[in-house]
Structure 1
Amino acid sequence: MRKKILSIILTTTMVLGLIPCIPCVNQVKAESSWKLVWSDEFNGDSLNTDVWTRETGGSGWGNNELQYYTDRTDNSYVSDGTLKIVAKRENYSNCRFTSARLKTAGKKSFKYGKMEARIKVNGGNQDGVWPAFWMMGDDGTAWPWCGELDIMEHANSRNYVEGTIHWNAGGSSYNTPYNHIFWGSYSVPAYYYYSDNNNGINGWHTYGVIWDENTIKWYVDNNIYLTAYLNDDNAYAFRKNHYFLLNLALGSNATGYTGNIAPNDSFQSATMEVDYVRAYSGSGELNPDGGSSQPDTDGYKSVPDKAVTTVGDCTLYAGSWDNGAMSYKGSKLSDLSIKLNSTSGNAGTWGTQLKYPMNLVQGKKYNVTLKFNSTNAGNMHWKNEGENDSVDLGTVQYNVNAGINTKTLQITADSKNTAVMEMSGMPAGTVIDNISISSVQEADSATTEKPTDAATTTEKVTETPTTHKVIDVDWSGVKYLEDGAEGGKLVNKYKAYCESDKVNIVNIQKNADGASVIYITFPVAVSSTTAEEAKIDGAGVGFPVDSVKEGQNLFKVTLADNSTYDVYLYEEPVKATTALPTTTQAPTTAAPTEKATTAVPTTQA
C-alpha cells in the first residue's frame, strides 16, 4: 500500500536504491538457523494492547479509501484462536464503511529474519476489498522516508497476491525532497498465483519474507516468488527496525491499487482472519536443510535455488534472480512431473529450465520434437544448444495451450546437443508432465540403380531425391486428401499432418486464380501463415500445391485466438526414416543459460 503517514517527524539521513543482481550458479547448501523470537498466536479472548494499537480515522489514508478505521471490537477482536478484522457497510463518522487497522509501532519491531503470518479473508474476492500484511520503519521518520515493506496485498477478485517495497529516493534527510519510489511484483512482473484461482484469498495461506541486509525474498506457503536485491550504500530504509501492520481497506473509484474499483451495492462485509504473526531471527532458506530438495505435501521435491539438479537422464534449474522456483517428482524424463512454484512471467529470461542431452551425429540434420501436457496456457522458449549454452542451434518462442502440446525444431547437430525447455513465461502453479523429447534424422540424398532386363539398356537412372522434411509421427492416423470438386486428379497424391486433431484436412481445390491449393479448415479464423495462402470462408486456408512441389512443406499457422499450429504437407513418395535409439549419455551439468536484465525501479511521484 502507498500509505502517507505525515505526522511523524523526520530524523535520520540515509539513502536507498535498488539494483538487480544475477548470482552465479552454485550447488552449495546454506545452513538454516531460524529461531522464533516473538509471536502472537491470538489464543486468548481479547487483543493484546501491550503489542497492538488500533489506529483510527477516515481521511482516505492517502489512497482515497472509503472506510473509517475504528477502535471498536465490532471491527477487530480475538476469538476461537484467530484475530478478526471486519470491514462492514455502515454509516459512521461521515463514511459509508468501517474496518480496522492494527500496528505494533513503538511496541514490537524487528530487523532482519523471517517474518510471516497465516491469513485468510472471508469474502476477500469482492470488488474493492483490499487486505494487507506489511511493515514500516520504526525510527520516527515520515513516510516514505521511513521505508515500507508490503509482505502481502490483494484486491478484488484477483487470483494472485504481491509484494512491494517503498522508499524516498535520495535519502531521508530534512533537506531531501519528497520522491516516492516503489518496486516489487508490478515492476518485474512477478506475482504469486493461487492454484485455486479467485478463491485463493478466501483460504488459509502463509505469507512471509526472508529479510537480510542485502535481500528481501517474498514467499507464499514456502514458495519464493519475488526477490529484491539491496545495495550496501543505499538500502537505508531496510537496514533498521520495522513494525507490523494488519488492515482491511475498501478502495474507491479513485483508489489506484484496486484499479479504481469500489465495493458494489451487494457488499455487506468481509473478514480478515489471522491465525498468527511470527518473527524469526537467523538466516537460511525456507527448508530446514537450507534449501535442498524437500518433499512438499503433494509429493513434489523443491529444486534448490541456483543449482543444477539431476533427475535421471535430465537436469532441472531454477534461479531466484529471475523469480524462478519449481519442484518435481519422478526419477527420469519419461515419468517427470514439474510444478512451477513461481516464475518471472517473461518467456526467454531462462529462470526455469529443463535440459535433456541427445545422442546425435555431428553435422547431420534432425527434427527434434518436444511433446508435453500443461495445466495452463502461457509462453515458452524451446532451444537446442550445442557444445555449451552459448552455442544456439535453434531457438523458438511459442504459445503453450492448456493440454497437450507438440513442437518440432530442425537443427544441424553439433559435437554435443542438449534440448532445453525454458518455462519462465508460464504462470506460477503450472504443472507440466507427460514430457517426451525425440529426434529423427532427415533422410540423406541418395541415388539408386533401377533393375534392368534383356529388353532394356544397362543405363543407370537416378531418382530425383525428395527434398521434403519428415517428422516423427504416427502416420497410421494421417488421412490422404479426399477428392474435391476441382481436384480429383490429385486424390491420394498428397498427405498432410497437423499437431492438433481440431484441424481438418479437407481436399484439393482451385484458388480464385486457378491455382490448385490444399484446403484446411481450423476452429477459428486464420490470422496469418508463413506462406502465401488463400483464405476461404474465414476459417480455412489453402496452401499452394506448387509450394509443396518446390520442397517447402512446413507451414506455421496463427489463428485469431493467437494459437499456433504446424502443418506438414507431403507429395508421395516420402522416404522412410528411423528414429534413433534413446540416448544413454550422461546428463550434462553445464550452467543454465541466464539472460541478465537491468530493470530500473518504477518511479511514482
Structure 2
Amino acid sequence: MRFSKEIFFLLLLSIMVACGDSDEGGPVDNGPDDSVSIPTSGYTSPTSYANRTLVWSDEFESSSLNLSDWTYEIGTGSNGWGNNELQYYTNSNTSMQDGHLVITAKEQSLNGSNYTSSRIVTMNKQDFRYGRIDIRAALPEGQGIWPALWMLGSNFNTVGWPASGEIDIMEMIGGSGRESTVHGTVHWENDGQRAQFGGETTLSSGTFHDQFHVFSIEWDASQIRWLVNDQQYHVIDTTPAQLSEFRNSFFFIFNLAVGGNWPGSPNSSTTFPQYLIVDYVRVFQ
C-alpha cells in the first residue's frame, strides 16, 4: 500500500481528524448486514517461540475496537490515499464478531464516494522495532478489492513517505484469479526517489478467501523475511546504508481498499459487502 510523497501534509490533517472515535456524517450501520460467516478452518500459528517473548497482541475479543491501541483514519485522504482508491473510510465499517476484527467494504454512497470501508492504525499508540509478527486473517475477494496488513515508520510525521519506510506484510489484489496470490514488499527512499523490493507467493490450490492463513514477517537489524503459514517466500537484506529506515520503529495499518491504481475498479462481477477478517495480531521479540 504505497503513498505519494506530495500528499504528506494533507494526510497528516486527515490523521488528526481521525483521532476521535466518531465520523460525523458517516453511516451508523451495525445491524444484520455486518454479520459475516467466519471461516472455521485454516492455519494457526504457535502462541510462543523459542527465545522470544510475546510483547503485544490483539486477539480482538472485545465488543469494540480497543482505542487505546488503534485509531480510525477517516475519509478519502488526498488523491484516494495516494493510490486513486475509491472508498470513504469510516469507523462504522469496523466491527467485532466471535473474537475477530471484521473490516467491511460496502457499495454505499457517502460524501461523494460510492464505497465505504475502514482503515485503522496504531500510530502513536503501539510501535515496534524488530521481532516476529504473526497476523491470522481471511481475505476478501473480487475485482477491485485490495486488503492490506502493513506498517509505516514511526517517524512518518517528521520525515514523510517514503523516507519513513514501509513494510507491507500482506497485500492482495482481487479479481482475474488473483485471490490465490499475496505480496510482501518494502518501500524506502534512495537518493531522493522511492525504491521498492517485493515478492509474492501463490497457493497450490484454493484462495486466501477460503480459510484463515497466517501472514508473518521475521525482522531484525539485517533482514526482513516474509512467510505464509510459516513458509518463507521472500527476504530482503537491509544492511545497506540506504535501507536504514528498516532499523527504526514502525506502527501497524490494517485497511480494506476498493479500487486504486493497482487492482483497478470494481466491475459487474464484484459483489458487496466484502470482508477482511483478522483473528489476531501478535508481536514476539
TM class by shorter chain equals 0.7 to 0.9
Could you say if the C-alpha distance between residues 263 and 36 of structure 1 is closer, same or farther in structure 2, counting changes exceeding 3 Å? farther
The answer to whether the Cα contact below 8 Å between 1:137 and 1:241 also exists between their aligned partners in 2 is yes
| Residue 264 (structure 1) aligned with residue 268 (structure 2) | yes
Question: Deviations for 1:390-439, whole angstroms, at most 9, x for unmatched residues?
Answer: xxxxxxxxxxxxxxxxxxxxxxxxxxxxxxxxxxxxxxxxxxxxxxxxxx
Q: How does 1:155-194 map to 2 (within 5 A)?
A: 155-156=173-174, 157-158=177-178, 159-170=180-191, 177=192, 179-185=193-199, 191-194=200-203
The partner residue of 1:240 within 245, 248, 251 is 248
The partner residue of 1:133 within 149, 170, 177 is 149
Match of 1:153 in 2: 171
Query: Residue type matched to 1:6 in 2?
Result: F
Q: How does 1:138-537 map to 2 (within 5 A)?
A: 138-139=154-155, 140=157, 141-156=159-174, 157-158=177-178, 159-170=180-191, 177=192, 179-185=193-199, 191-197=200-206, 199-252=207-260, 255=261, 257-258=262-263, 260-264=264-268, 266-281=270-285
The answer to whether the Cα contact below 8 Å between 2:88 and 2:111 also exists between their aligned partners in 1 is yes
| CA positional deviation for 1:113 | 0.4
Match of 2:89 in 1: 69
For structure 2, list consecutive stretches of 5 or more residues without a partner in the other structure: 13-48
Distance in 2 between the 1:236 and 1:278 partners?
Answer: 24
The answer to whether the Cα contact below 8 Å between 1:251 and 1:263 also exists between their aligned partners in 2 is no
Q: How does 1:577-596 map to 2 (within 5 A)?
A: none
The answer to whether the Cα contact below 8 Å between 2:190 and 2:242 also exists between their aligned partners in 1 is no
Question: Deviations for 1:49-83, whole angstroms, at most 9, x for unmatched residues?
Answer: 010001011241111111001122xx001221000
Aligned partner of residue 61 in structure 1, secondary structure: helix
Distance in 2 between the 1:64 and 1:217 partners?
Answer: 29
Distance in 1 between the 2:197 and 2:122 partners?
Answer: 24
Question: Deviations for 1:348-387, whole angstroms, at most 9, x for unmatched residues?
Answer: xxxxxxxxxxxxxxxxxxxxxxxxxxxxxxxxxxxxxxxx
Match of 2:42 in 1: none
Aligned partner of residue 202 in structure 1, secondary structure: coil
| CA positional deviation for 1:115 | 1.1
Distance in 1 between the 2:113 and 2:222 partners?
Answer: 42
Aligned partner of residue 241 in structure 2, secondary structure: coil
Could you say if the C-alpha distance between residues 201 and 228 of structure 1 is closer, same or farther in structure 2, counting changes exceeding 3 Å? farther
Could you say if the C-alpha distance between residues 265 and 219 of structure 1 is closer, same or farther in structure 2, counting changes exceeding 3 Å? closer
Distance in 1 between the 2:107 and 2:53 partners?
Answer: 41
Query: Residue type matched to 2:278 in 1?
Result: V
Question: Deviations for 1:269-302, whole angstroms, at most 9, x for unmatched residues?
Answer: 1011100011110xxxxxxxxxxxxxxxxxxxxx
The partner residue of 1:80 within 98, 102, 106 is 98
Match of 1:409 in 2: none
Aligned partner of residue 81 in structure 2, secondary structure: coil
Distance in 2 between the 1:236 and 1:150 partners?
Answer: 17
Query: Residue type matched to 1:273 in 2?
Result: I
Query: Residue type matched to 2:183 in 1?
Result: E
| CA positional deviation for 1:265 | 5.9
Distance in 1 between the 2:142 and 2:59 partners?
Answer: 27
Pairwise CA RMSD of aligned residues? 1.8
| CA positional deviation for 1:263 | 4.0
Distance in 2 between the 1:181 and 1:262 partners?
Answer: 28
Query: Residue type matched to 2:223 in 1?
Result: T
Aligned partner of residue 144 in structure 1, secondary structure: coil
Percent of paired sites with the same residue: 36
TM-score normalised according to structure 2 size: 0.80
Distance in 1 between the 2:8 and 2:213 partners?
Answer: 33
